[in-house]
Amino acid sequence: MRLLVLEDDQDLARQLRAALTDAGYAVDVAHDGEEGHFLGDTEPYDAVILDLGLPTMDGITILQQWRRDGRDMPVLILTARDRWSDKVSGIDAGADDYLAKPFHVEEMLARIRALLRRAAGHASNEIQCGPLRLDIAASKVTLAGQNVSLTALEFRLLSYLMHHQGKVISRTELVEHLYEQDFDKDSNTIEVFVGRLRRKTQASLIETVRGLGYRLVVPSDDGRDDG
């Protein structure tokens, strides 16, 4: 999962990036409104943390323009403005949630998890596909009850597939959602990570759809794989 943080306080932005990276996300950061608006308008983020009081372009304007342009990624507003009228303005502009400063990092992480799982159609922090279980809150994967040790990128890849299980995901989409903006992106490495995941999990769960990408197969009730 790939996130964008728009925050002009550089110390806070570094703290947010560190906490989100430790939680298993790929994170891009922008410190002014124009750069942040451009990134959100051109990159496929899974969610955005948006400060309202940004230089060059304020958060409400950015959000309104994104929504007018059809950008529908979940947005968590993060701001020192805690008046009810500011909250209403943010929600009416298209925000999905609101968090006032100061805040606890764990609360911010919980709100991001909630936005991501709701956007993918999941109600719980635990997502299951056959014997494979993803605990979003604990950043932990188990297979038939046994812990599966994954690298950060393996975890991001499996997490994205599990959030979108049953859907065919192209290599390009996986690259766009696994790596930060300044990372040297190479779609060929996706095959390497998929191979590793197959060795560490039940191989038949990750299906190659020739010419299109990959799909996490949802097992049917009778034990046979769908599709």
Give yes or no for residue 103 having a pLDDT over 50: yes
**The domain that contains 94 carries what CATH number?**
3.40.50.2300
Q: SS in 3 state form for the chain?
A: CEEEEECCCHHHHHHHHHHHHHCCCEEEEECCHHHHHHHHHHCCCCEEEEECCCCCCCHHHHHHHHHHCCCCCCEEEEECCCCHHHHHHHHHHCCCEEEECCCCHHHHHHHHHHHHHHHCCCCCCEEEECCEEEECCCCEEEECCEECCCCHHHHHHHHHHHHCCCCCECHHHHHHHHCCCCCCCCCHHHHHHHHHHHHHCCHHHEEEECCCEEEECCECCCCCECC
> What average pLDDT score do residues 111-126 get?
90
119, 134, 159: which is the final residue of a domain? 119
> What average pLDDT score do residues 21-28 get?
93
Q: SS in 3 state form for 152-212?
A: HHHHHHHHHHHHCCCCCECHHHHHHHHCCCCCCCCCHHHHHHHHHHHHHCCHHHEEEECCC
**The domain that contains 205 carries what CATH number?**
1.10.10.10
pLDDT band at 226 (very low <50, low <70, confident <90, very high): very low
User: Do 114 and 134 sit in the same domain of this protein?
Assistant: no
Q: Which domain holds residue 151?
A: 126-216
pLDDT score, position 82: 66
Task: Write down the pTM of the prediction.
Answer: 0.82
67 falls within a domain: yes
Average pLDDT, the chain: 89
pLDDT score, position 76: 96
User: Do 179 and 199 sit in the same domain of this protein?
Assistant: yes
pLDDT score, position 15: 96
pLDDT band at 163 (very low <50, low <70, confident <90, very high): very high
Share of the chain above pLDDT 70, in %: 93
- Do the beta carbons of residue 214 and residue 174 sit within 8 Å? yes
Q: How many domains does the chain have?
A: 2
> What average pLDDT score do residues 106-114 get?
95
226 falls within a domain: no
pLDDT band at 185 (very low <50, low <70, confident <90, very high): low
> What average pLDDT score do residues 28-33 get?
96
User: Do 139 and 75 sit in the same domain of this protein?
Assistant: no
19 falls within a domain: yes
- Do the beta carbons of residue 33 and residue 8 sit within 8 Å? no
pLDDT band at 221 (very low <50, low <70, confident <90, very high): low
Residues 109-147 as b or e (16 or more Cβ within 10 Å = b): bebbbbbbbeebebeeeebbbbebbbebeebebbeeeee
pLDDT score, position 74: 96
Contacts of 70 (CB under 8 A, 6+ apart): none
User: Do 55 and 154 sit in the same domain of this protein?
Assistant: no
pLDDT score, position 220: 67
User: Do 160 and 87 sit in the same domain of this protein?
Assistant: no
pLDDT score, position 184: 62
pLDDT score, position 132: 92
67, 93, 119: which is the final residue of a domain? 119
User: Do 74 and 169 sit in the same domain of this protein?
Assistant: no
